[in-house]
Amino acid sequence: MKNDETSVRDAVSTADDNELVELGVAAAATAIRNGEITAESYATALLQRARKYADLNSFITIDECAVLTAAEAADKARAAGSSAPLLGVPLGVKDSYLTRGLRTTLGVEVLDGFTPAEDAEVVGTIKDAGGIVFGKNNLVEMSFGLTGDNSRYGQVKNPYGTDHMSGGSSSGSGTAVAARIVPGAFGGDTVGSIRVPASLVGVVGFKPTTGRWPGGGVAPISHTLDTPGIFARTVEDCALIDQIVTKDVTASPAAGSDLKGARFAYAPKQYLGLIESETEAHFRNTLQRMRDAGAEVVEIDLGEDFSVLADRLTWNLFFRETMQAVSEYLRRHDVPVSFHDIYDGLKPELNGVWSELVLPSGPGYISQQTYETALSVDRPELQRRFDEMFTRGGIDALLSPTTPSPAPLIEQQATFTISGEEVSHLVLAKNTVPASGAGLPAISIPMGITRHGLPVGLEIDGAHSDDRKLLDLAHRVGTVLDDLPAPA
């Protein structure tokens, strides 16, 4: 995974549209600041790309006039001496983020005409840094799902195989980056909603430590688990966005070419119990490449009940906190609907899930005592196991396949087969759930492509609040992996 800034001058020498759309976030920002391209020409190329690949359903809303107006303003600002870090760079925004003057639907029909009067905190920060909101990315309704299906705004398709799932819930954000419609896009991650689609569509997806990024103005599921995050095509671009959003002055990842001195762990009993054979082969090949590059990679066991513990606490928090979190969000931001308006308008399958697990009257709604146990007993125990691995074990990061299989077919999104076992789509989050439950930073990077042309992702989990270290490690791991070809 090479840093695309190194090829900026080659890419913009003729500045045709195909070359422009290959620029990443940092590369595009550099080219605009240096006067090698204009923000207007770059935005125009991306808008043309969006029209060409509209059938991917990666966006719900794009205001082309607003994008071009903002690009023209960026060019004038550059001429006046601005050196803003994201000057003139258009970015996708998941349609769960409030965007002032641009409709925000949360993926549900009842909000089809809602236009907020304010920006989510992250959006405001990106605009202050010179970035442009390119449009609102499609998502699973209310961010509840892992497949990319939306009954109102369409199934988001995988650019590497349009009959395959994109993953979710930040489905459109991942697909838009993979398809070169935008160089980066914002998503949200509660149990894997950034990392799962990043894995399936072959891009980098970064979930910060929970609480590191401000969540104001982003529609929630669980205040304990939710975090905004970012999709890009390089780790360096994720690191740049993280630095801007958090105003973290820590140095960016070093351009290291090996992994000497780094110590990684993998836990086959907990993360490889159910896995598609080609995904496992890519994972084990990646471990060997890392060893060859100087890393120490050790096998560990996180405990026989680790997966049960992680699943229990994470899903209990996920469903138990939804009604309160969504209701408070609607009130706080003057969204002109109620919780029950949204509930009544959900597609039948999701309405049924909310009836059973989210509403207090549902048979699966957990008791206050069970909820408090999840917060006070289960979560601290999961965090203790990770902390023991990182501190006492001297581990820098934990490795696993991000998803146990490549992207399933859309027609099989309810249930599909892995290694002869029929599973539901929730299994796609099997390996992402533990880091979410513990609130850890995590990132998915592409580690290969199957014989059928579908991407395979590598998840790297870091210690709590060690986000910059994790990004550095992910960059270094990426240097020993092959670049993923662009989707055909």
Task: Write out the catalytic residue numbers.
Answer: 94, 169, 193
Give the CA radius of gyration of the chain.
21
Query: Residue 227 forms beta bridges with which residues?
Result: 189
**Distance (Å, whole) CA 477 – CA 236:** 12
**Torsional class of 157: left (φ above 0), alpha (ψ -120 to 50), beta (otherwise):** beta
Helix (H) or strand (E) holding 134: strand 132-137
Q: What is the largest CA-CA distance in the chain?
A: 64
* Distance in angstroms (rounded) separating the CA atoms of residues 435 and 258: 26
For residues 195 and 459, give the distance between their C-alpha atoms in angstroms, rounded to a whole number: 8
Nearest to 104 by CA among 159, 54, 142: 142
SS3 content of the chain, % helix, strand, coil (to 5): 45, 15, 40
Phi, psi of 324 (to 5 degrees): -65, -45
Read off φ and ψ for residue 266, nearest 5 degrees. -140, 150
On the CB side of 261, CA atoms within 13 Å amount to 6
Residue 392, helix vs strand vs coil = helix
* Calpha distance 89→464 (Å, rounded): 30
